Amino acid sequence: MNELQTMWSISRRKSLINCPREYVLRYSGNQKQYTRKNIKSNKKSLEDILVTSLREVMVERLEDQKNGIIWSKKMILLKLKMSLEFEIGPRGLAKIKNSIPKFFDDLILSGKKQLESLWNTNIFRRISNSKIKRWSCLDRKKVACDGHIDIYCSPDLIFQVQNKWHLLRIDFLGEKSNYFEDLEALGMVNWSIKNRNLPDLINKFKVHVLKFRDGIWLYQKFIPNNNLLQQSKQLFEKDVSQMNELVKKMGPMKNLSLIPLSNNYQHCKKCIFKKSCPAKNGLEKAKSEQFLTEYNFTKERFSSN
C-alpha cells in the first residue's frame, strides 16, 4: 500500500522540484519519524554524504569552540576524514580509492575549504569573537506538527541578540535562487513557533540563510510577517498535495512509468537512481517515450469508457 505523504522538508521539496521520479523513489515510501536506522538505510549520493559530514563536523567544531577548544587546520582535516570514512563505509571507500585514487583526498580538502570559508562569514566571525554570546545548534531532524503536515524545517543554528531570535539555515549545497526562497526560509519561523522552547510571536524572529554556491557563501536575510508566514504554510500544503498526487499516479502497483522525469539533465548526472532510470540513455529520449506511453494510456482509458 502506498503511504500518505505527510513530511515536508527542504530536501524533499528540492527533490520534488528537481525530479518527481527521484522524489518518489527516495522519499515516498518513508513517512515515519526520522530515526538513525531509516536515515542510514536511505540511499545517499556522495554529495549528500559530504553534506552530512560537513554538518556533523561544523556542529562539533562549534561546540568545542564554546568550551574554549579551538581546532587546528589539521584537526579539521582529521575530523572530516573520519566522518566521511564512517558515512561512506569500508566497501564504498575501497571502491572509490580503487577507481580514482586521489578523489577521496580531494573530497576532504574541498570540504575543509568550505568549512574554513564558513568560519569567515560575518555570523561565524561574530560567534568566534563572542559578539554573539547566546547561540545553540539544533537538530534538523526535529519535527513540528502543523495539522496533517510534519514539518522538518529546524534552523541549523539559533542565536539571540537583544530581544530577537535569529534563525540560521546553512545550506552546504546551495541551488540557484528561486521565486519561493523567502517562503522556504520562513518555514523556519513556522517550525519555531510550534516549538515550546521558543517564543510564538512572529516579530521576535529574524531569518538568515547562508548558502554555498560556486565556491562562495551567499548570505540572505528575511523578516517574517503574518502574510508571508501564511504563504509559507500554503507552500507546504501545495508541495505535500503534489507529493500525494504523484503517489496516487504511481498506483498500488507502484508503476513508475508515468511519474515525470527531471527537466534538467544536470540532476541526472549525480542521481543515485540513474542506473535503473529510462533517462540513463538520454533524458530527452526518455521523456519522449514517456509522453507516448502516457498518450497511449489515456487513449486506452478513453476508448474503454
**CA 121, CA 132: separation in Å to the nearest integer?**
13
Task: Select the residue interacting with ligand SF4 from 76, 153, 189, 271 (CB under 6 A).
Answer: 271
CB-wise, 183 or 279, nearer to ligand SF4? Answer: 279
Instruction: Specify the amino acid at residue 65.
Output: Q
Task: Select the residue interacting with ligand SF4 from 7, 19, 108, 168 (CB under 6 A).
Answer: 19
275 to 294, contacts with ligand SF4 by CB under 6 A? 277, 279
**CA 228, CA 224: separation in Å to the nearest integer?**
6
CB distance 160 to 205 below 8 Å: no
CB-wise, 161 or 272, nearer to ligand SF4? Answer: 272
- If binding is defined by CB under 6 A, does position 54 make contact with ligand SF4? no
- If binding is defined by CB under 6 A, does position 211 make contact with ligand SF4? no
CB-wise, 10 or 218, nearer to ligand SF4? Answer: 10
**CA 230, CA 192: separation in Å to the nearest integer?**
14
Interface region with ligand SF4, contact rule CB under 6 A, candidates 83-91, 131-139, 167-175, 273-281? 273-281
Instruction: Specify the amino acid at residue 105.
Output: D
**DSSP labels, the chain:** -PPPP-EEEHHHHHHHHH-HHHHHHHHTT--SPP-HHHHHHS---HHHHHHHHHHHHHHHHHHHHHTT-PPPHHHHHHHHHHHHHHHHHHHHHHHHHHH-TTHHHHHHHHHHHHHHHHTTSHHHHHHHTTSS-EEEE--TT--EEETTEEEE---SEEEEETTEEEEEEEETTPPPP-TTHHHHHHHHHHHHHTSTTS---GGGEEEEEEEEETTEEEEEEE---HHHHHHHHHHHHHHHHHHHHHHHHHTTTT--TTS---S-HHHHHT-TTGGGSGGGG-HHHHHHHHHHHHHHHHHHHHHH-
Smallest gap from Cβ 42 to ligand SF4, in A, equals 15
- If binding is defined by CB under 6 A, does position 267 make contact with ligand SF4? yes
- If binding is defined by CB under 6 A, does position 261 make contact with ligand SF4? yes
Smallest gap from Cβ 245 to ligand SF4, in A, equals 17
Task: Select the residue interacting with ligand SF4 from 12, 16, 22, 246 (CB under 6 A).
Answer: 22
Task: Select the residue interacting with ligand SF4 from 14, 21, 61, 233 (CB under 6 A).
Answer: 21
Site string for ligand SF4, 160-199 (x = CB under 6 A): ----------------------------------------
- If binding is defined by CB under 6 A, does position 256 make contact with ligand SF4? no
Cell triple for 246: 504523484
- If binding is defined by CB under 6 A, does position 233 make contact with ligand SF4? no
- Site size with ligand SF4, rule: CB under 6 A: 12
- If binding is defined by CB under 6 A, does position 268 make contact with ligand SF4? yes
Task: Select the residue interacting with ligand SF4 from 274, 285, 293, 294 (CB under 6 A).
Answer: 274
Sign of the alpha-carbon torsion through 50, 52, 54, 60:
negative
- If binding is defined by CB under 6 A, does position 48 make contact with ligand SF4? no
Interface region with ligand SF4, contact rule CB under 6 A, candidates 17-25, 48-56, 217-225, 230-238? 17-25
- If binding is defined by CB under 6 A, does position 142 make contact with ligand SF4? no
Residues binding ligand SF4 (CB under 6 A): 19, 21-22, 261-262, 267-268, 271, 273-274, 277, 279
